[in-house]
Amino acid sequence: MLPLPLASAVRFLLMFYTDHQGRKVVSGACKILFLICFCLHAPSAWAYSEEVIEDLIDVFESKNKVVAVIEGKRTITFNLRLKERVLCSDAKGYMGAFLINEHFLSITTSSNAWHALPLKRGESEKTVVSLSPYLVLLATRDRAIAFDAAPNRFVETRLPIHDELLEAAAEKYIAVVITSSRAFGFATEASAFSEIRLKLRETINAVKITSSKATIRTSDRLITFEAIGAAWKVHKLP
C-alpha cells in the first residue's frame, strides 16, 4: 500500500497527463514531482536490498605481520609482538578481521591502518567471531564488540556476568548476541547495541537471522530486531 503523499502524487500525475496530453512540459513537471515524493517516502524499499557484494579485501599472516591487501592496490600491515599469535582471520565484502590473543583487529576498504582493540588476559579464549560484508562481531565471555564499516569504529556492550552465550552472529546489516537472560542487537551506522531482557524462566525456542532482521521465538513471545530502527520489538503469541 502506498504512503498517502505518494498515492496523492500518483493521482496528480495521472490527472495532468489525461487533461494535457499535448503539453509535454506539464507532464514532465508532474513526473519530477512523482519522483521526488517517491524518493522521500519510500527509501526503505531499496535501503537493504540483496545486492551481491564482491570481496574487496584479502588478509593473511606473513613474517610476524598481519597483512591486508585492499582492492588489489593497497597493502596495510600490523606488526605482531613477540608473544602474539593469530587465532583466526577472515575477510568478506568491505571487511577484514584478525583475532589474535592480545588484540582484535579490523579493517575496511576505507581504512588507512588496522584498527586494534586490546583484549584482556585470557579474553580471546572461548570467543565467537562472525563476519558480514559490513560488520565484524566478536563475542567474549564478558562483552560483545562490533566493528562497523560505515564509521570505521568499534562499538561494545557488556554481557551479563555468569550468563551462557547462546547465539552470536553477524549478517549483512545486523549483528545479534543472545545470552541466557538477554538479547543484544546492532545495526550498521547505529551508535550502540540495543538490548532486551528475557523474562524469568523464559526459554529460547528458535532463532532466525537474515541480512536485516533477527527473529527470536521464545516460550512466551516473538521478539524481532530490524536494521531499520535498530530496536527490539515484542509480539505477543496467541
17, with CB counted inside 10 A (0-12, 13-18, 19+), is middle
- Determine contact, residues 74/40, Cβ cutoff 8 Å: no
196/160 same-domain check: yes
Q: How many helices (H) and strands (E) does the chain have?
A: 3, 19
89/128 same-domain check: yes
Helix extents (H) in the chain:
4-19, 24-41, 44-47
Residues in Cβ contact with 91 at an 8 Å cutoff, skipping those fewer than 6 apart: 55, 57, 58, 59, 68, 97, 131
Residue 50 forms part of a structural domain: no
62/30 same-domain check: no
Provide the domain count of the chain. Answer: 2
**pTM metric for this prediction:** 0.78
Integer CA distances (angstroms), 191 to 54, 118, 184, 201, in order? 26, 20, 13, 31
36/101 same-domain check: no
Q: Say how far apart CA 169 and CA 182 lie, in whole Å.
A: 15
Residue 51 forms part of a structural domain: no
133/211 same-domain check: yes
Residue 162 forms part of a structural domain: yes
Residue 196 forms part of a structural domain: yes
Residue in the structure block whose three cell numbers are 545470552: 179
pLDDT tens for 142-199 read 999 999 999 999 999 999 999 999 999 999 999 999 999 999 999 999 999 999 999 9
Which residues constitute the domain of residue 122? 57-236
pLDDT tens for 87-121 read 999 999 999 999 999 999 999 999 999 999 999 99
pLDDT tier at 49 (50, 70, 90 boundaries)? low
130/226 same-domain check: yes
186/97 same-domain check: yes
